[in-house]
Chain A
């Protein structure tokens, strides 16, 4: 199979198997709240509590001061949420990726269905769930007068970010089938990654001689793009180009690896 037919397959599968895809999405979302009384409310309360803690610690206790010239805002909460909400969707997707196939071992060995649907579900659901909070955040920004024509770039940034996330998920989820230790490893990676990404601090606060380290972090340009588009209404072409290129390369690598290894899933699971 050529790379083009594989890409076509990834585009075709969700359409051709839309009933099943829709079923997976619904199941995943409903499954998170099934059996609990609060249901959907919990999906808002948990991150909300976390966000308040971060905002309290960094804005009230540690008193991080922002320069509006650099960040477009002087409110720590506004700055923090612009990066944190996309990060939450990303990290949730990453966290779930290790069990994407392992959890459904029984299904994969017993029923033949397009496995591509699972990573797709794994990225869409966290983005959708965190999207609710994100929309509320946007409404707050509009109220505070941050709205800007540059926001039209937002769907592009989200789209590229989702492609990047999907590529990582495809790689991690299929690798975990063969190497289960990745599951334990992921926890450490995600918490380190969070602190090495300029979410709770602006890049300008990082000492010069450490900045190269942050710049190597592939999440840095994504968060920076969110900051720019949301708070300043600008977009850095070089960063957008870089993220598009990075996502494209990762995606091709991911689906190639997936295509080669997916037939072995049922053997190993």
Chain B
């Protein structure tokens, strides 16, 4: 069973050089148009509860595909089937009447998405609450800022509780906090086993939300599969885009050389001397040597530490720390200084990985030799925490005879 089944979707648009040509064609029945293929032979399936990302450059056919999914545009050939109630957020607030209040607009907009009056009444309060527009909901929406507009639109569209949700770049507006709220709501949809199709230029959003991704290139399905793989291939393509119409390479087999290689990861002390045994609370420096041949490339570096790869004790990246991407060129050394290391135990390793400038696509990674962190603290556990004690009051509890129960409370 599939939630969305698209088979051999093709969309051709007739483009007329001037409006008169359309009339001429209608009258003389002689074709006066050029055919532009916006989408050709695109097939994919989405199972219920899956989240599919759609990526591609501008003009790759993403919008056409989404319009077909939403049902406003018909494919020239091929067919598309969706199961269950569908809500499409192709443009938030597209049905809003600027002169009407936010509340009045909720009604028409929700009705457009297929709710009946009862359902709208039930949801009105929660829509307003989610949009955080309580104070202005009875003012005309023409007085709203674009962010408020979008907040109301998103609240309405997602309150429909659709089985299939289609989202187009809708979240690129609104402030950070509301964006986060939207992502959370969509995560909620995902957990509720709803099917979501997201189209975005934000690789971050796609990788956060989607298990699988399809990449459209010039109207064709270029690749489909696990999000991380498809995004890697797409970003690699974008970087190489310099040579114009170059064939799109398939990097999914991993046979290519990383753009930046990590030569070594080692532990040194403040003076740069190699360390094999580390004392707890000592200053350590993790030194990563990278090499980039060819033109400089921007990227981020991640360094983690732990006793196993899958469950690191601590990971930080240059991006998380809010730094600008590193310009990798030739041989370079990046150092992470940890002034006082609070963990202890055996077999610790430092692991470094280098990623692209979005910190999404890993380029290369390497682990250090295992090392031991010794502690002369008597406490037990894998790390030492700052602590102090508060002992029970030394004051004597008053003793009275008779009711012992009450005594305890005193």
With A and B bound together, what is the CA distance between A107 and B95 in angstroms?
Answer: 6
A112 near B100 with CB under 8 A, answer no
Q: B22, B67, B95, B112: which contacts A178 (Cβ < 8 A)? A: B22
Within 8 A of A (CB), among B56-79: 67, 70-74
Stretch in contact with the other chain, from A3-11, A17-25, A227-235: A17-25
B73 near A266 with CB under 8 A, answer yes
A267 near B94 with CB under 8 A, answer no
Closest to B105 in A: A27
Within 8 A of A (CB), among B275-315: none
Q: A17, A109, A181: which contacts B72 (Cβ < 8 A)? A: A109
Name the A residues within 8 Å of B120 (CB-CB). 19
B73 near A111 with CB under 8 A, answer no
Query: Chain A binding site: helix, strand, loop or mixed by DSSP?
Result: helix
Q: A19, A110, A263: which contacts B111 (Cβ < 8 A)? A: A19
Within 8 A of A (CB), among B97-142: 97, 99-100, 104, 107-108, 111-113, 115-117, 120, 140
B99 near A111 with CB under 8 A, answer no
B67 near A111 with CB under 8 A, answer no
Interface flag for B19 (CB, 8 Å)? yes
With A and B bound together, what is the CA distance between A115 and B94 in angstroms?
Answer: 16
B113 near A111 with CB under 8 A, answer yes
Stretch in contact with the other chain, from A29-37, A143-151, A196-204, A214-222: A29-37
Q: A31, A108, A181: which contacts B97 (Cβ < 8 A)? A: A31
Interface flag for A67 (CB, 8 Å)? no
B72 near A179 with CB under 8 A, answer no
A110 near B72 with CB under 8 A, answer yes
Interface flag for A236 (CB, 8 Å)? no
Q: For residue B178, give the distance in angstroms from its CB to the closest CB of chain A.
A: 21
Closest to A24 in B: B108
Name the B residues within 8 Å of A24 (CB-CB). 108
Closest to A179 in B: B23
Number of A-B contacts (CB under 8 A): 79
A112 near B72 with CB under 8 A, answer yes
Given contacts A34-B140, A110-B94, A111-B88, contact A266 B100 (CB under 8 A): no
Query: Chain B binding site: helix, strand, loop or mixed by DSSP?
Result: mixed
B74 near A263 with CB under 8 A, answer yes
B72 near A31 with CB under 8 A, answer no
Given contacts A34-B100, A106-B94, contact A112 B70 (CB under 8 A): yes
With A and B bound together, what is the CA distance between A22 and B104 in angstroms?
Answer: 12
With A and B bound together, what is the CA distance between A79 and B71 in angstroms?
Answer: 50
Interface flag for A210 (CB, 8 Å)? no
With A and B bound together, what is the CA distance between A12 and B205 in angstroms?
Answer: 41
Given contacts A266-B72, A267-B13, A267-B73, contact A19 B97 (CB under 8 A): no
Q: For residue B402, give the distance in angstroms from its CB to the closest CB of chain A.
A: 72
With A and B bound together, what is the CA distance between A111 and B23 in angstroms?
Answer: 28
B100 near A27 with CB under 8 A, answer yes
Name the B residues within 8 Å of A267 (CB-CB). 13-14, 73
Interface flag for B90 (CB, 8 Å)? yes
Name the B residues within 8 Å of A17 (CB-CB). 111
Name the B residues within 8 Å of A30 (CB-CB). 99-100, 104
Name the A residues within 8 Å of B22 (CB-CB). 178-179
Interface flag for B369 (CB, 8 Å)? no
A34, A111, A113, A267 interface centre (most CB from chain B within 10 Å): A111
Q: A22, A31, A109, A179: which contacts B100 (Cβ < 8 A)? A: A31
With A and B bound together, what is the CA distance between A188 and B88 in angstroms?
Answer: 41
A23 near B72 with CB under 8 A, answer no
Name the A residues within 8 Å of B111 (CB-CB). 17, 19-20, 22-23
A266 near B99 with CB under 8 A, answer no
Q: A35, A111, A266: which contacts B112 (Cβ < 8 A)? A: A111
Closest to B86 in A: A112
B70 near A111 with CB under 8 A, answer yes
A108 near B107 with CB under 8 A, answer no
A108 near B100 with CB under 8 A, answer no
Name the A residues within 8 Å of B13 (CB-CB). 267
Interface flag for A211 (CB, 8 Å)? no
Closest to A35 in B: B99
Q: For residue A269, give the distance in angstroms from its CB to the closest CB of chain B.
A: 9
Closest to B120 in A: A19
B115 near A112 with CB under 8 A, answer no
Closest to A115 in B: B72
Q: For residue B140, give the distance in angstroms from its CB to the closest CB of chain A.
A: 7
Interface flag for A180 (CB, 8 Å)? yes
Name the B residues within 8 Å of A179 (CB-CB). 19, 22-23
Given contacts A19-B120, A23-B111, contact A107 B73 (CB under 8 A): no
Interface flag for B91 (CB, 8 Å)? yes
A95-108: CB near B (< 8 Å → 1, else 0) gives: 00000000000111
Closest 8 pairs (CB-CB, A-B): A112-B71, A34-B99, A20-B111, A23-B108, A110-B90, A110-B94, A19-B111, A266-B72
CB-defined A-B contacts under 8 Å, sample of 25:
A17-B111, A20-B111, A23-B108, A27-B97, A30-B99, A30-B100, A30-B104, A31-B97, A31-B99, A31-B100, A34-B97, A34-B140, A35-B99, A108-B72, A109-B67, A110-B67, A110-B88, A110-B91, A111-B88, A111-B95, A178-B26, A179-B22, A179-B23, A266-B73, A267-B14
* A interface residue numbers (CB < 8 A to B): 17-20, 22-24, 26-27, 30-31, 34-35, 106-113, 178-181, 263, 266-267
